[in-house]
Chains A and B, each alone.
Chain A
Amino acid sequence: MPSSSHDRGPDSTPAAEAAPSSAAHPRSGQESPAAHELDWSVCMARAQGGDRDAYRRLLEDVTPYLRSIAARHFQNSGDIEDTVQEVLLTVHAVRHTYDPARPFGPWLVAIANRRVVDGLRRQGRSRAREVALDIEHETFAAPQANLAETASDGRVLRDAVEQLPSGQRDAIRMLKLQEMSLKEAAAASGMSVAALKVATHRGLKNLRKIFGRQGGKT
């Protein structure tokens, strides 16, 4: 499918979003709407006869109007341009079905609506298959990714440490949570290294008991 980003024409204004007969026209400025219709109709009649200049003028003139139709249904500029190009391709393929005795606008709008509906269906299908990822869904197999769970685990651990006797609590905090060395912890707390080791050992034992109780409860 061809696609491109394309600069919006000078007449892709809300005025061009009105009925086809009132679509703005780059060359005709303030002419009456009927004049645009007639102009497009004449261009298409000539294009059917093989007049390439008339055909180019017609396609260039209707493109901003088609873009305004597509912009009513799509937000993405790529989707809008895709739809415009599909309408142009369809116009080219079925240009022999246009009867110059009839107005050009309804013929063009019917084709444009058809391609817009196709585009919306395609968009609906792709959206049905795709899932938008947001923060809540960023949980993967690797434990490091489970940030929310890690945070709750940390809170549970801190609560358990709070329940320990003060000596064991300080020892666990310094040696295990703050990852201080025995010497640093001894200097900071004024406890001996041996006393710190004993307090850490007992603290870990008590923590196991606490978590064992909590596990038994759940």
Chain B
Amino acid sequence: MITTPDLIESLVAGASPVRRLRPPATRAALWLLFAAAIVALLAVSHGLRPDLGARLHQPAFVTGIVASLLTGVLAAVASFVVSLPDRSRLWQLLPLPALAVWVSTIGYGCLTGWVEIGPDGVRLGEVVDCLATLALTSVPLSLAMLVMLRYAALLQPVRVATMGGLTVSAIAATALSLLHSLDATVMVLVLNFGVAALFVGLASVFGNKMFSLVASR
């Protein structure tokens, strides 16, 4: 048990200089640059989908990919803005229009074709390749966002985690559309629900640890 004046004294004693956060738009831009680098590296190592040139002439495909990219960008901005305590929660609505367009273009390709049986026998389908790309995109992006938004665990963990999960989902879906011949958005969304749940769980764990760390000072 500690009295409030004693607590204040202990907090003051531990008050080392801190570096202020950059504006949320700048931080979102940094994160998006990191995401672009990841996707670019994947494109170099994996190669773009063979029919990309032809697909880019199809309005439905272009609409879907632009909408998912826009959803990712807007959700990233919203994540960094709503993570701050004094910003309006209406910022959460920012990616919704783009999300609505993106969801309306979702296909079902990846829900089938887990295993293909052909002349060469049974082999793993394109889905496994999809999953690998998804993991290579989602994991580093989620970790980067988790580190950049770790303070939100004390403030709005669920809201920020949800927004962060949407951001990572949208970017991963964009990457998949560029790299794979499957319309994988349903699977990406389903899997990224898991990413969002992980985000929420880690955020609450980190929040408690941060809290006890501060309290023990």
Instruction: Fill in one digit per residue for B1-26: 1 if any A CB lies within 8 Å of its CB, else 0.
Output: 11111011101111111111101000
Residues of A within 8 A of B154 (CB): 90, 93-94, 114
Residues of B within 8 A of A107 (CB): 85-86
Residues of A within 8 A of B86 (CB): 102-103, 106-107, 110
In the complex, residue of chain A having the shortest beta-carbon distance to the beta carbon of B18: A96
Which size bracket describes the interface of B in this complex? 20 to 34
B61 at interface, CB cutoff 8 A: no
Instruction: Fill in one digit per residue for A85-96: 1 if any B CB lies within 8 Å of its CB, else 0.
Output: 100111011111
A6 at interface, CB cutoff 8 A: yes
Residues of B within 8 A of A84 (CB): 4
Q: A4's contact among B2, B9, B13, B18, by CB below 8 Å, is which?
A: B2
- Stretch among B37-45, B67-75, B112-120, B207-215 lining the A interface: B207-215
- Give the number of residues in A that approach B within 8 Å (Cβ atoms): 36
B32 at interface, CB cutoff 8 A: no
B91 at interface, CB cutoff 8 A: no
In the complex, residue of chain B having the shortest beta-carbon distance to the beta carbon of A111: B85
Instruction: Fill in one digit per residue for A67-106: 1 if any B CB lies within 8 Å of its CB, else 0.
Output: 0000000000000010011001110111111111011001
Q: Which 7 A-B pairs have the closest CB atoms?
A: A50-B17, A110-B85, A96-B18, A107-B86, A4-B3, A2-B2, A106-B86
Residues of B near any A CB (own CB < 8 A): 1-5, 7-9, 11-21, 23, 83-86, 151, 154-156, 210-211, 214-215
Apart from the given pairs A55-B12, A89-B7, A111-B155, 20 other A-B contacts in the complex at a CB distance below 8 Å: A2-B1, A3-B1, A4-B2, A47-B15, A55-B11, A88-B7, A89-B11, A89-B211, A92-B11, A92-B14, A93-B210, A94-B151, A95-B18, A96-B19, A96-B21, A96-B151, A106-B86, A110-B85, A114-B85, A114-B155
Residues of A near any B CB (own CB < 8 A): 2-4, 6, 47-50, 52, 55-56, 59-60, 63, 81, 84-85, 88-90, 92-100, 102-103, 106-107, 110-111, 114
